[in-house]
Amino acid sequence: MTHMYDLAHSFDAERLDTSLFLRAERQPDGRRTYRLLEREPPPTSYGEDSYGRIFGESQARAARK
């Protein structure tokens, strides 16, 4: 969880009419559709995806262990 999630989640919990949360659609296998959907804030920033692109998937798998 990130501090940005905490902030977004606190706004979502208030259920204000002025709050709108958009998320990039992701397929179950992680592929992106590049469509934005109105959804609640996710509890992840998908930092593991960035780590895998920078350091390679094998390093990302090793870091999970």
Residues in the chain: 65
Q: Are 51 and 59 in contact (CB under 8 A)?
A: yes
Q: What band does 62 get if pLDDT is binned at 50, 70 and 90?
A: low
- Three-state DSSP state, 35: strand
User: How confident is the model over 24-43, as pLDDT tens digits?
Assistant: 888 888 788 889 998 877 76
- Average pLDDT rounded to a whole number, residues 17-21: 79
Instruction: State in Å, rounded, how far the first CA of the chain is from the last one.
Output: 18
- Average pLDDT rounded to a whole number, residues 11-17: 79
Q: Mean pLDDT for the chain?
A: 76
